[in-house]
């Protein structure tokens, strides 16, 4: 590899670069899996004919995927796209994330919540770590789908409105977000930790299913059981109140 060629790569000019060169570069720089994926995504985008940016048709969750979520009764689970729009969740996820019944109509955007909702720092334990994860996921998605206007608009909005986002975005960190442990603070069941798994949905490009679980006998497992019981009680009371409403009685 010549010095001029390497300088061209450093300036971000990846047009025409072969996979073998990218592999050599990844090994030389000792890139981790996330950084390697990011490099190859950038190269793939550089070698595609640049299409005109267009807004996407709003994504809707396939009913079969929602049925899958509803069938996962013992664990909180939801589906999000690459720009962190939450397209669907099950009852236990609603009890976990919306204990006050404040769930808005989908899609809700988790990145906007983290950086633009003034209450997010109180609701999210270890806010800084979570915010770093959000930025890293968006940067990875921007490399994978660089001509997505909705994604670029979101990044622009966050950059304009949040100094924290601007600082973290400038750091250019990337990471894969497949599994880990996440802390929660819930007003009913208290503080606990859950393990998460992120799985790409086959046949639905760009959609990821996130599911939480906990080992039996751990505080997280006890918290999930309590959360499920509380959530079922709230839903039952809501149905009773709806059935007892004047509009329902005179229907």
pLDDT of residue 168: 92
- Secondary element (H or E) of residue 230: helix 219-243
SS3 state of residue 213: strand
Extents of the domains making up the chain? 3-46, 63-241
Q: How confident is the model at residue 72 (pLDDT cuts 50, 70, 90)?
A: very high
* DSSP per-residue letters across 134-189: HHHHHHHHHHHSTTBHHHHHHHHHHHHH-HHHHHHHHTT-----SEEEEEEEETTT
Q: How confident is the model at residue 209 (pLDDT cuts 50, 70, 90)?
A: very high
Q: Does the pLDDT at position 227 exceed 60?
A: yes
Location of structure tokens 């939480």? 212
Average pLDDT (229-248) is 74
HSE, CB side, 13 Å, CA atoms: give it for residue 63.
0
Q: Where are the beta strands (DSSP E) in 1-120?
A: 77-80, 85-89, 108-109
CATH of domain 63-241: 3.30.450.180
Q: What is the pTM of this model?
A: 0.74
Q: How confident is the model at residue 143 (pLDDT cuts 50, 70, 90)?
A: confident
Quote the CA–CA distance of 157 and 140 in Å, as a whole number: 18
Burial zone of 139 (CB within 10 Å; 0-12 exposed, 13-18 middle, 19+ buried): buried
Q: List CB contacts of 11: < 8 A, sequence separation 6 or more.
A: none
Residue 75 DSSP class: S
């Amino acid at each position: 590899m010549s010095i001029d060629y390497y300088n061209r790569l450093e300036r971000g000019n990846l047009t025409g670069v072969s996979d073998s060169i990218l592999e050599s570069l990844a090994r030389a720089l000792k890139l981790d899996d996330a950084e390697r994926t990011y490099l190859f995504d950038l190269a793939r985008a550089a070698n595609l004919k640049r299409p005109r940016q267009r807004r996407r048709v709003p994504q809707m969750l396939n009913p079969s995927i929602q049925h899958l979520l509803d069938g996962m009764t013992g664990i909180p689970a939801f589906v999000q796209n690459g720009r962190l729009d939450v397209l669907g969740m099950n009852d236990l996820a609603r009890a976990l994330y919306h204990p006050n019944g404040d769930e808005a109509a989908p899609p809700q955007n988790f990145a906007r919540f983290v950086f633009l909702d003034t209450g997010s720092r109180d609701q999210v334990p270890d806010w800084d770590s979570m915010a770093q994860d959000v930025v890293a996921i968006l940067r990875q998605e921007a490399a994978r789908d660089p001509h997505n206007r909705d994604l670029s608009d979101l990044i622009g909005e966050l950059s304009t409105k949040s100094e924290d986002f601007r600082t973290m975005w400038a750091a250019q960190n990337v990471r894969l977000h497949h599994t880990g442990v996440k802390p929660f603070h819930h007003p009913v069941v208290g503080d606990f930790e859950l393990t998460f798994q992120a799985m790409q949905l086959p046949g639905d490009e760009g959609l990821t299913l996130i599911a939480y679980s906990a080992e039996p006998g751990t505080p997280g497992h006890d918290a999930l059981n309590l959360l499920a019981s509380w959530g079922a009680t709230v839903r039952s009371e809501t149905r009773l109140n709806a059935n007892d409403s004047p509009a329902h009685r005179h229907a």
